[in-house]
Amino acid sequence: MSYYFLLDIAIILLSTKLLGLFTRRIAMPQVVGALLAGLILGPAGFNLLHETDFLVQVSEVGVIILMFSAGLETDISELKKTGTASFLVAVLGVVVPLIGGFLAAAIFNTGTNAMLQNVFIGVILTATSVSITVETLKELGKLSSRSGNIILGAALIDDVLGIIALTVVMGMAQGDVNIWLVMFKIVAFFVLSGVIGYFFHKQFDNWMRKSKIDRRRFSIIAFAFCLIYSFIAEEVFGVADITGAFVAGLMIAKTVRCTYVTHRIDTLGYLFFTPVFFASIGLKAVIPEMNGDIILFSVLIVLIAILSKIIGCGLGAKLCKLPNISALRIGVGMICRGEVALIIATKGVSAGLMKEEFFTPIIIMVIITTIITPILLKIVYKDRGHEIVYAEDPLAERLQNRDHCEV
C-alpha cells in the first residue's frame, strides 16, 4: 500500500487554507483561494498533485456534505415562499444558456450530426453548480437572504431541468432511453421525498426530544441518512446524488438538535472533505493544445456562459417584480458551472455527442465561471440595496456569526 494519499490530503488542507486566508485578506472569498490551490498544485500549475480514485471519492463525499449542510440551513417554509420566483428563474436560466450555447457552437461546428452536437453544448451550459455560491453566500452571511433562497430553490429546479435536457438529448442520440420513464422517476423522487420527509422529520425530531443532551448518535444517523438518500437519488431515481443530499438536509432542518448536528457535519466538511472537493476542481485543469478557432470558441463560450445566466435568471427575477439589484444578484449567483457540466461533457464525449476538441474550452468555462462567481457575488452584495435579510432565523444568524469568527 502506498501512503502518498496521506501527503496529498495534507497538502490540500494546508494549501487551500493558506490561499483561502490570503484571498480573504485581499477581500475575496476563501473559496477562490481553495480553487486556486488546486489550479496551482495540479497539472495546469506545478504538477505536484493529480486526481486519484481516492481524491475523486473523497471530493464526492465533500460535495455531498456541502449540499447536506446547505439543506440543513435552509428554511423550507421560506423556500416555499420563493417557489414561483425560483421556478421562473430556473426555467429562463436554462432556456437562455441552451440557446446561447447552441448558437455559439453552430458558428464553429458544421457538418453531419452538427445540429444535435450543438444542442449538446447548449445543454452543458444549463447546469448551475450551486455549491460555490452556497459557500460564498455563507461566508458573506447572505444565504438566508431572499435572493439567497431564490438561488437555492432555482438551482434545485435547474438541476432537475438540466437532467431532463440531458436525458432528452441523449435519448434523441441513442434512441434506446425511455424519456418518459426517466421523467417519471424524477417526479417520483420528489413526490416520495415529500412523503418520506413528512414522516422522517417528525420521527427524528420526536426521537431527539427524548434525550436531554446532545448525543453522537444524532449526528451519525443524520449523516448516514444523508449518504443513503444521496445513493438512492443517484442509483434508483437517476437524480444527482447532491440533490439527494440537499433534500436529506431539508428533512432534518428545523429539528430540535439540528444546530448540534449541523456543527458536527460542518467540522467533518472543513477538516477533511470540502477542501478536497474545491481543490479537485482545479486539479481537472490541463494546459491544452490551442489553435485560433479553439481560443475564439473558448472566449465566446465563457462570455455566453456568464451573460446567459445573468440575462436569463435576471429576467426571471424581474418577471416576479424583484428590484434590479436582486435580479442582478440572482443572475450572478447562478453563473457558476461545476462538476455537473463536467460530468455532462464527459458523457457527451463518450456518447459521440461532443467533439473532443471542445472539451478543453468547457473545462476553461467551468474554471472561469467558478472563480468569477464568488468575486462577482461579493461585488453585487456589497450594496445591501432593498434586500430582505431573514436575520431573525436563529440558525442562519448563528451560522453567519460563526463564519465570521471561527475561520
Q: Does 392 bind a second copy (CB under 8 A)?
A: no
Give strand pairing partners of 389: 145
Distance between CA atoms of 301 and 100, rounded to whole angstroms? 9
How many Cα atoms within 13 Å fall on the side-chain side of residue 362? 28
| Spatial contact of 332 and 373, defined as CB atoms under 8 Å apart | yes
Residue 281's nearest CA partner among 104, 1, 28, 66 is 66
What is the number of helices (H) and of strands (E) in the chain? Answer: 18, 0
Angle at the Cα of 246 (from 243 to 250), degrees rounded to 5?
135
Q: Does 181 bind a second copy (CB under 8 A)?
A: no
Q: Does 289 bind a second copy (CB under 8 A)?
A: no
> Which positions ≥6 away from 165 have C-beta within 8 Å?
94, 98, 123, 126
Binding part of the chain for a second copy, among 81-89, 133-141, 211-219, 301-309 by CB under 8 A, reads 211-219
Residues 64-93 close enough to bind a second copy by CB under 8 A: 64
Q: Does 53 bind a second copy (CB under 8 A)?
A: yes
Q: Which is nearer to a second copy, 105 or 283 (CB)?
A: 283
**Binding residue for a second copy (CB under 8 A) from 107, 174, 235, 352?**
235
**Binding residue for a second copy (CB under 8 A) from 133, 230, 298, 308?**
230
Residue recorded with cell 421562473: 88
End-to-end CA distance of the chain: 35
Q: Does 220 bind a second copy (CB under 8 A)?
A: yes
What single letter denotes the amino acid at residue 88?
Answer: L
Q: Does 210 bind a second copy (CB under 8 A)?
A: no
Write the binding mask 1 to 40 for a second copy: x where contact by CB under 8 A, - elsewhere.
x-xxxxx-xx--xx--x---x-------------------
Q: Does 227 bind a second copy (CB under 8 A)?
A: yes
Residue recorded with cell 490570503: 22
Q: Which is nearer to a second copy, 9 or 103 (CB)?
A: 9
Which stretches of the chain bind a second copy, using CB under 8 A?
Answer: 1, 3-7, 9-10, 13-14, 17, 21, 53-54, 56-57, 60-61, 64, 213-217, 219-221, 223-225, 227-228, 230-231, 234-235, 241, 264-265, 267-268, 270-272, 405-407
